[in-house]
């Protein structure tokens, strides 16, 4: 009888030990444990060693770390009827473990689906130029929309980033041609402005020379100095007619003075 009792006590003790060992849960620093006792919410367990009784308790582990999810690539139409393929990434964090476990069946799946539908809605309300040039604005708008929907679930959306915007090949060629035409237009405008400024400077120089003819002679002498600095070169240059003006006037005056006086008959 004593041996049977010892075996019974040993079996009971082994069962109790196994129950205790299976009841121990270790909650890490970045986790919270949502405890349901007999199917009802009981408490949120903080990090450390916790006892969870089998059968009557169930512990749901929730991570408080920021999590990332890829929003599947979707083909959609913009407001200006351009087909595009867009994908994104969403960053979210659990701020209320109780709501994340009780108020939604699968907060990860629900958040991801909400991001997909919101992305399609925002892209459909945006034009292509806005989608390409104002991506930060669209990211902020997406974050606001998704966060409002996930807040009752205890999920905080920290950021949404549109990653790739894939355009049809025909649209890519059209945009490339448009960019090329725009560059040519700017080049022509810059060239025309340069020609206008050069013509304006030449007109200013002509006005200065008109007011001070000596400036032309100074420029002529400066050109001679520059040409003379070149070696082994033969230079033919014009001489300003102004230098010979006194001689020409003198030559015109001499015939009149030397002309003999005709006798009067």
Which residue range is the domain that position 34 belongs to? 16-62
Order of strands, sheet of 40-45, starting from the edge strand that comes earlier in the sequence: 40-45, 31-37, 57-63
- Based on the structure, what is the number of domains in the chain? 2
Quick one: how many helices (H) and strands (E) in the chain?
8, 8
Q: Domain for residue 112, yes or no?
A: yes
117: CATH: 3.30.479.30
- 50 and 103 within one domain: no
pTM for this structure? 0.62
Query: Which of 167, 199, 234 is a domain's end point?
Result: 167
DSSP 63: E
- 161 and 74 within one domain: yes
Provide the pLDDT for residue 182.
Answer: 78
- 71 and 163 within one domain: yes
- 126 and 73 within one domain: yes
Provide the pLDDT for residue 227.
Answer: 64
- 73 and 45 within one domain: no
Provide the pLDDT for residue 252.
Answer: 65
- 108 and 40 within one domain: no
What does the angle CA 51 – CA 56 – CA 60 come to, to the nearest 5 degrees? 60
Residue 5 vs residues 13, 14, 18, 110, 137: alpha-carbon distances, Å: 12, 14, 20, 56, 76
Q: Domain for residue 91, yes or no?
A: yes
- 87 and 57 within one domain: no
Query: Which of 138, 167, 196 is a domain's end point?
Result: 167
Could you tell me which of 46, 62, 57 has the C-alpha nearest to residue 98?
A: 62
Query: Which of 112, 139, 167 is a domain's end point?
Result: 167
- 52 and 71 within one domain: no
- 98 and 140 within one domain: yes
Rounded distance between C-alpha atoms, residue 163 and residue 154, angstroms: 26
Q: Domain for residue 159, yes or no?
A: yes
- 112 and 132 within one domain: yes
- 139 and 47 within one domain: no
Query: In tens digits, what is the pLDDT along the chain, a chain of 265 residues?
Result: 567 777 777 787 877 778 777 788 888 888 899 999 888 888 888 888 888 888 888 888 999 999 999 988 888 888 888 888 899 999 999 999 889 999 988 899 999 999 999 999 998 888 888 888 888 899 999 999 999 999 999 999 999 999 888 887 776 677 667 777 778 888 888 888 888 888 888 787 777 767 766 666 666 666 666 666 666 556 565 655 655 566 566 666 655 544 554 554 4
């Amino acid at each position: 009888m004593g041996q049977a009792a010892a075996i019974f006590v040993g079996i009971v003790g082994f069962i109790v030990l196994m129950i205790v060992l299976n009841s121990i849960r270790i909650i890490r620093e970045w986790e919270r444990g949502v405890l349901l006792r007999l199917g009802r919410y009981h408490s949120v367990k903080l990090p450390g060693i916790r006892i969870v009784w089998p059968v009557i308790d169930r512990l749901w582990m929730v991570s408080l770390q920021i999590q990332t999810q890829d929003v599947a690539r979707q083909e959609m139409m913009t407001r200006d009827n351009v087909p595009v393929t867009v994908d994104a990434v969403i960053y979210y964090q659990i701020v209320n473990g109780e709501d994340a476990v009780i108020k939604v069946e699968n907060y990860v799946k629900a958040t991801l689906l909400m991001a997909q539908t919101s992305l399609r809605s925002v892209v459909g309300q945006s034009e292509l130029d806005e989608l390409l040039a104002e991506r930060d604005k669209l990211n902020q708008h997406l974050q606001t929309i998704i966060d409002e929907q996930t807040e009752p679930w205890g999920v905080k959306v920290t950021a949404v980033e549109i990653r790739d915007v894939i355009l049809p090949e025909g649209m890519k060629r059209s945009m490339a041609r448009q960019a090329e035409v725009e560059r040519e237009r700017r080049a022509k405008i810059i060239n025309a402005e340069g020609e206008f400024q050069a013509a304006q400077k030449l007109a200013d120089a002509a006005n200065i020379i008109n007011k001070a003819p000596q400036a032309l002679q100074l420029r002529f002498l400066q050109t001679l100095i520059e040409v003379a600095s070149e070696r082994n070169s033969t230079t033919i240059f014009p001489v300003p007619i102004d230098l010979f003006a006194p001689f020409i006037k003198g030559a015109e005056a001499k015939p009149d003075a030397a002309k003999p006086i005709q006798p009067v008959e």
